[in-house]
Structure 1
Amino acid sequence: MLQDLLDHGPVSRNEIQNKIDQYGCYIVLVEADDYLPGYAYTIGLHQKFGHPEIICFGLSIDMLGRLLNNACALIANSASLYPDQLYQDFLEDYPIQFLPVETSYYSNYMAICSNFYSTDDYPSLQMVWPDKKSLFPWEQGFNPAWKFKQPLLDRNTDFKFYEERNVAVFTTKHVLEGKPILYVYHNDDGAWQFHSEREPDLTDAKLVCLEEITRIDPSVNEVYHLSFGQSAWRESVNDPWEWE
């Protein structure tokens, strides 16, 4: 049932439908890179069983595939999975929980699913795993080194970056005075830059927190995924972002 789109390229709607008909769902696997965690999600649970689709982050591709396969098998046998309940049968010695996914995240993480359904009008759940103390990311004492291994898709729709809100980023006084952000750089060292010019005058440089940039222009959340060394640009604020 598993299909890794990164290895095999895009698949047709008919290929996805054939897997749903045969196995109950199709699973999209997305490899991690040097910045973003890997993740996987289902397509077809809603169509075949009337059940929310499921997405999970931050584990190995093999483990993600096994977890979603197990979920699909349970659902095919008339089980239903619900938010805010502990489930003990997915990970050995550790519980998991499910969160409802905000639809504004679909374009970021589940675009193939939305294309398959030709709409964002379908429900989804995020499978969330705990740290080695069985603490979940929203609980006090959760391992801070694992904080950004699984973004929580039921919240923070105003801030989608994989950093703390108060992390320092570079911009210029022109952006702070109202010029549009048209160029975004994610440096090799992890630093972010947000500018109105492709090559800004460094004498105009300012250091601000990343959250302030997202408040100035919420659309920068659309390029949260830029890996180290990548950049994004647009001709105007009315144009879509492009990136390498």
Structure 2
Amino acid sequence: MTYHIAQFHGDGYSPSFAYTIGLFKTYGYPELICFGLNLDLLHSVLWSGKELLDKQPVPNQSIGYPDFLGDFDVRLLTVDKGWYKAYFGYGYWFNQTWDFPALQIVWPDKQALFPWDEDFNPAWKFGQPLLDRSVDFKFREERNVAVFTTRQVLEGLPILRVVHEADGTWQFLCDTTTDVADLKIVCLDHIVELDASVNGLFQLNYGWTAWRETIEDDWETWEDPDEEEAAEEAEETGQ
């Protein structure tokens, strides 16, 4: 095969996705990526995408393309390079550069509406991040979702610990206080405005924590042992 398809299971928070490796180097086509479907279906969608590029190497992004998902069409978006490091790691390894084009295949809901349409199924909204936009805010929640932080962070101390609770709650902490009186509730968008580096944690799974010693250090991540044990027990009991 002159190209490959890399597939990744969802983890409960981040959706499944798959993308091609080698379409650009072999054919001069954009690489393709798609999210939120089961892996077999993602493989089929990308295969159909390659067949489309065989017929139309520069597809028209202003129209839909039917027959990808039964009777539903799909749309194509140009992937902003600000998303490449999050999703195209093997593509970089294969090409030895980030300088390759990529298109996202976006699927509709059962009413043939797309994520940018007003009445798109809200339960599916974050099943496929739109990679042509929002590189300044990559989280899978709304910008105005309430999160916890501290008075000290709002006054200028760096964020050194980020906790994504099993229930979806986010905490952005300075690690200088454990006083409940110092806790504050703000919009997630405000946290990203204070420190854009937390954008790199947008895929932090439920029950995981990220920590760094100083703002110049890379984030280290780990799963809460209690959450990991609970997940294993649920898997063993079939719950």
Cross-structure match for 2:109: 131
Which secondary structure state, in structure 2, belongs to the residue aligned with residue 126 of structure 1?
strand
Equivalent pair of 1:183/1:194 in contact (CA under 8 Å): yes
Is 1:144 aligned to 2:115, yes or no? no
Residue 56 of structure 2: which of 71, 79, 85 is its match?
A: 79
Instruction: Please name the residue that 1:185 is paired with.
Output: 163
Q: Which residue of 2 aligns with 1:7?
A: none
CA distance in 2, matches of 1:82, 1:241: 40
Output one character per residue of 1:114-133: Cα deviation in whole Å (capped at 9) or x when no partner: 22212211100000001111
Moved over 4 A (4+): none
1:40 CA displacement: 0.4
Q: 1:76-115 alignment to 2 at 5 Å?
A: 77-80=54-57, 81-115=59-93
Partner SS, residue 54 of structure 1: strand
Match of 1:229 in 2: 207
| 1:167 maps to which of 121, 138, 145 | 145
Corresponding residue SS for 2:152: helix
Q: 1:156 aligns with which of 125, 134, 140?
A: 134
Report the RMSD for the aligned CA atoms in angstroms. 1.3
CA contact (8 A) 1:184 1:231 kept: yes
Amino acid at match of 2:139: F
User: Counterpart of 1:14?
Assistant: none
TM-score (norm 2): 0.89
Q: TM-score of the superposition, structure 1-length normalised?
A: 0.87
Partner-residue secondary structure (3-state), 1:116: helix
Cα deviation per residue 1:157-184 (whole Å; 9 max; x = unaligned)?
Answer: 1110110111100000000000000110
1:37 and 2:15 aligned: yes
Name 1:6's counterpart in structure 2.
none
In structure 1, what is the equivalent of residue 190 of structure 2? 212
Cα distance in 1 for partners of 2:36, 2:158 equals 34
Q: Structure 1: how far apart are the matches of 2:104 and 2:178?
A: 40
Gaps of 5+ in 1: 1-21
* Structure 2 unaligned blocks of 5 or more: 223-239
Percent identity between the two aligned chains: 48
Aligned mates of 2:117, 2:95 — CA distance in 1: 35
Give the superposition deviation at 1:70: 2.0
In structure 1, how many angstroms separate the alpha carbons of the residues matched to 2:135 and 2:52? 30
